[in-house]
Amino acid sequence: MKLWKQDFTLEGLANMSANTLVDAFDITFIEMGDDYIIAEMPVNHKNVQPMRILHGGASVALAETVGSIASVLCLKDPLSYHPVGLDINANHLRSVPEGGKVFAKVSPIHIGRKTHVWHIDITDENDKLVCVSRLTIIILKTRK
């Protein structure tokens, strides 16, 4: 069953993310299904810690990015309401060295009227789990 209330394309997601943290970290949306989205992010000088491995905060930023975008796509009226991150949890399981790539797949746990809860798996190029995250989004009425 299709979860999304908005019609979208990968190109449209890229356009919506222009001049944001998504651009700064070179995050690219690469796949979408009826109830999931996948984005990739290179591990490079923009998101590594001094040990030259992926910074845990960059994994969290990637997780919140895919979850927030997914919430926007679940809204019937994205001009009157907007999603805001309420809580995020991340378990960092494996390091990724500079020069690699990571992939974030977001899928729903709960889609309610006022809250959305998302599960995000971040894997490396060998499909090994790097980080597991849960994101809770609150849906707020947009102030005019």
**CB-hemisphere CA count at 13 Å for 31?**
10
Active site residue 125: no
Identify the active-site residue in 40, 64, 98, 125: 64
| Rg from Cα positions in the chain | 15
Tell me the pLDDT of the chain (144 aa) as tens digits.
789 998 899 999 999 899 999 999 999 999 999 999 999 999 999 999 999 999 999 999 999 999 999 999 999 998 999 999 999 999 999 999 999 999 999 999 999 999 999 999 999 999 999 999 999 999 999 987
DSSP SS3 for 95? coil
* pLDDT at residue 1, as a whole number: 75
- Domains of the chain, each with CATH number or no CATH: 10-141 (3.10.129.10)
| Dihedral over alpha carbons 49, 87, 66, 108 (to 10 degrees) | 140
